Amino acid sequence: MIKLSAFFAGLIFGFGLLLAGMANPAKVLAFLDVAGAWDPSLALVMGGAIAVAAIPLNWARKNKQSLLGAPMQLPMKRELDARLIGGSLVFGIGWGIAGICPGPAVAILLTGHGKIIIFVLAMLAGMYLFSLLERRRTA
Amino acid sequence: MSIDWINFTPWTSVGGGALIGLAASLFVLANGRIAGISGLIGSVMQFGSEGWSEKALFLLGLVIAPLLWGAFTLLPEIEIKAEWPALIIAGLLVGVGTRYGSGCTSGHGVCGISRLSARSITATMCFMFAGFATVYAIRHVVGA
């Protein structure tokens, strides 16, 4: 059951990105281009998602187990540190260059666009670099 | 600021957003996990880590979504304007940045804001600001 729900959650997430138009990097860039012909769609995507997810996620905060009995694993960190802010700024720069963030990158991986393969390989390399640096830091 | 009314898609974007919210709700209610894509990828890269198969199955569903969609109807337009040197730089920055920042548009922007996490609200403001500034610099300062 827990594996099935994980698969369906991913599938529905992908359908949502496609329907919302967020699988199209050009549309995401049109949102980020506030000084050009601005397409506010992405704000409505986030608004729609948050409106639906707010009650379930707040229920999750108050419970130790999921409905299927899995342990509730929510982030525990509280501090607003340099890693959070610096990392998010770096992510935003990369997002602004190509209009692609991790969700859409995975969702359009097999749609036959060669360019997305290049992006995903570079993204995986970046994540691998992070894990190498983390291992050195904690070693 | 001028709104691009021709390309603005309020209804499908709210509807698609609601589906994303539904997926995030299902994942947390059933699996007890946050649907943050960068975190899921980071975990799946470490074989045999905690919850590996669940996380891999979520990503499998996400990868398969357009194939299933395309079997029934036409896929929406997907246009990647950036050329490969820019894609490599962008990919590296997104990879490193999301891992240091502990999340991306889904984990912080949707799930984190939904549970009113101060870290996620801060992170979302940071990557939105950096995204706006980067596109402004590329399109209106450099003029590419």
In this predicted model, what pLDDT tens digit does every residue of B89-120 receive, in sequence order?
999 999 999 999 999 999 999 999 999 999 99
Per residue in B58-92, pLDDT (tens digit) is: 999 999 999 999 999 999 999 999 999 999 999 99
Q: Which residue among B15, B78, B119 sits closest to A23, beta carbon to beta carbon?
A: B78
Distance from CA of B50 to the nearest CA of A (A): 11
**Residue A107 φ then ψ, to 5°:** -65, -30
Residue B5 lies in a domain: no
Look at chain B and report how many structural domains it folds into: 1
Q: Which residue among A54, A86, A106 sits closest to B114, beta carbon to beta carbon?
A: A54
The residues that bridge with B3 in the sheet, in sequence order, are A38
Residue B143 predicted with pLDDT over 90: no
Tell me how far apart the alpha carbons of residues B113 and B110 are, in angstroms, rounded to a whole number: 6
What is the predicted pLDDT for the residue at A115? 96
- How many Cβ pairs closer than 8 A exist between chain A and B? 500
What is the predicted pLDDT for the residue at B68? 96
Give the residue from chain A lying closest to B55, CA to CA: A6
Judged by CB atoms closer than 8 Å, whether chains meet at A97 and B134 is answered as yes
Distance from CA of B48 to the nearest CA of A (A): 15
Per residue in B48-63, pLDDT (tens digit) is: 899 999 999 999 999 9
Residue B2 lies in a domain: no
Distance from CA of A139 to the nearest CA of B (A): 17
Contact B23, A9 (CB under 8 A): yes
Distance from CA of B140 to the nearest CA of A (A): 8
Judged by CB atoms closer than 8 Å, whether chains meet at B4 and A32 is answered as no
Residue B4 lies in a domain: no
Question: First CA to last CA across chain B, in angstroms?
Answer: 19
Contact A45, B14 (CB under 8 A): yes
The residues that bridge with A37 in the sheet, in sequence order, are B2
Model confidence at B126, pLDDT cuts 50, 70, 90, reads: very high
Judged by CB atoms closer than 8 Å, whether chains meet at B90 and A18 is answered as no
**Residue A65 φ then ψ, to 5°:** -130, 150
Residue B49 lies in a domain: yes
Q: Which residue among B58, B98, B131 sits closest to A87, beta carbon to beta carbon?
A: B98
Q: Which residues of chain A fall below pLDDT 70?
A: none
- List the domain range (segments joined by +) for residue B62: 10-142
Residue B18 predicted with pLDDT over 80: yes
What is the predicted pLDDT for the residue at A47? 97
Residue B1 predicted with pLDDT over 80: no
